[in-house]
A and B are shown apart, each in its own frame.
Chain A
Amino acid sequence: MSETPPAPAAPEKTPAERGAGASPAGGAAPKPAGGVDAAPAPPPAASPATPSAPPASPAAPSGSKPAAAPSAPSKPAAGPKTLHGAGGEEEGWTPLHPYPLAPVGAGTTRRGFLSWFTIGWAAFSAASVAGLGALQRFLFPNVTYEPPLSFKAGFPTEYGLGVEEKFKERYGVWIVRESRGFYALSTVCTHLGCTPNWLTAESKFKCPCHGSGFMVTGVNFEGPAPRPLERYKIALAEDGQLLIDKNAKFQKEKGEWDRPGAYLAIPLA
């Protein structure tokens, strides 16, 4: 990328300029004042002069011209003249490139200068890609207004034997009280993610979508569900309340129900 700007300039040079190729670079030194001003100036100013007068380049006012001067005697006024490609051919040489060249003395061709736009386009493209990436991030909010993933569920003494459905609606959790202790079941059916219902009379969880059935332990026994309901971490908070943490889940088929946190052993008094 960084070498593109000089690169296009080289092939555009005519044979004449190639010969003098070293001098524009070296000759760049004497152009401090005029170099900038001369670049735009020559084309209109010099073009009328060049056809008639080969020594046009000496006549050019600024220090930008000397570079072309060495070639001027044999091939008159290569620099400014290039605006008239045909004229150049009449003088006995053929431009390698069909497009006109900017004054050589300036050290910059028009196309060479425009090639700097490559960097501009690259920067623009990179910025666009970055902007699109940032747009994707826009779709992921930093805050959602969902219920927290961990919550306190009251004191163990408040629970009688059976399935507590109080936290199903808001947190998606059933808290089951056994005589030995507590566990927290996810209310997400392991088939396709619907919410089963607890049927007290039949003592099972039954999913209305496709008929999966789970025992009170959460183990699947009928319908398409491929695996038991998941359990969430259950523990006692400092104040003695049940603390459910949905960040940690335990799957029976992975043998995780035996791990600490999957079950809270508090015998029924």
Chain B
Amino acid sequence: MGRIWEGVRRSQIWKSIFRHGAPLTPRNRTLAVLTNFFLHLHPVKIRRSGLRISYTWCMGGITFFLFLVETITGLLLMFYYRPTAELAYADILAMREHVPLGVMREIHRWGAHAMVISVWLHMYRVFLTGSYKPPREFNWNVGVILLVLTLLLSFTGYLLPWDQLAIWAVTIGSNMARATPFLGHEGPGSTLLSLGGVPLIHAGDDARFGLLASRFVGEASLLRFYVLHCVGLPLVAATLMAIHFWRVRKDGGISGPL
């Protein structure tokens, strides 16, 4: 067994991928992290205190794990789900009844709930430990954006089952956009934006319309939310997450105990 392992390590293929020796020395262990695209986001060394679960609650890591769960289950769901008013709800039912592992959508749903909870707890922990203070204030802001993206992912995913709950919840949720200052047709200042008595901001072109692609929640909204949910928001979130993790390393690892 050991000889086989040794042979693999000496092979051209292995050495082309891992250009350092076995991680048996401190130097090679460092190289293992530094020369790996994924691991290099992570600090090479962390403080012993950083491992204490009572300090971090591991909520950042759990949030990332849940994001991966959502990515994988979401990708699988996309094989069966068609975002049209006619088919969406039927596909949701079919996914449960006609597809092996029909629990996949439930995993996706519960994972989403858990992620919202864990991301809040992560933020709470970071606040309690004062980890938002310099030099980590930039990363705190990245984290705030990631929190908003998580909530937006939740919101856009809410519409996709296309049942009564989904439609009315998003109707109510998107009505908030009516009150956007200047850009919502019922928001403060929107009446100031008019040309010769013709309002520039109305129900047909305000912020809410931009979100829903319609004056009310309809098929165009479903497609728009689907694209945002499956492509747009995850791409932005993944990019910011990479920056977030990398900045943890650059800002000196996670904060120490107070």
Contacts and interface: CB of A to CB of B under 8 A. Distances in A.
Interface residues of A, number: 12
A144 B215 contact: yes
Nearest to A209: B168
Contacts of A146: 214-216, 218
A194 B168 contact: yes
A194 B167 CA distance: 9
B207 to A, nearest CB: 11
Interface in B209-246: 209-210, 213-216, 218-220
Contacts of B172: 192-194, 209
Given A146-B214, A146-B218, A140 B175 contact: no
A90 B205 CA distance: 71
A133 interface: no
Contacts of A144: 204, 213-215, 220
A140 B210 contact: yes
Contacts of B171: 192-194
A192 B186 CA distance: 13
B168 A140 contact: no
B163 to A, nearest CB: 14
Could you say which interface size class chain B belongs to? 10 to 19
Nearest to B219: A145
A172 B218 CA distance: 13
A141 interface: yes
Interface string A134-155: 0010011100111000000000
Task: State the main secondary structure of chain A at its contact with B.
Answer: loop
A183 B220 CA distance: 31
A192 B168 CA distance: 9
B213 A139 contact: yes
A186 to B, nearest CB: 12
A192 B219 CA distance: 21
Interface in B71-111: none
Nearest to B202: A247
Given A192-B172, A194-B172, A209-B172, A140 B205 contact: yes
B175 A193 contact: yes
A150 to B, nearest CB: 14
Contacts of B209: 140
Interface string B167-190: 010011001000000000000000
A194 B170 CA distance: 10
A75 B204 CA distance: 74
A245 B9 CA distance: 77
The 5 closest A-B pairs by CB, nearest first: A192-B172, A193-B175, A193-B171, A139-B210, A194-B168
17 contacts: A140-B209, A140-B210, A141-B213, A144-B213, A144-B214, A144-B215, A144-B220, A146-B214, A146-B216, A192-B171, A192-B175, A193-B171, A193-B172, A193-B175, A194-B171, A209-B168, A209-B172
Interface of B: 168, 171-172, 175, 204-205, 209-210, 213-216, 218-220
Given A141-B213, A144-B215, A194-B171, 16 more contacts: A139-B213, A140-B209, A140-B210, A144-B204, A144-B213, A145-B219, A145-B220, A146-B214, A146-B216, A146-B218, A172-B216, A192-B171, A192-B175, A193-B172, A194-B172, A209-B172
Interface of A: 136, 139-141, 144-146, 172, 192-194, 209
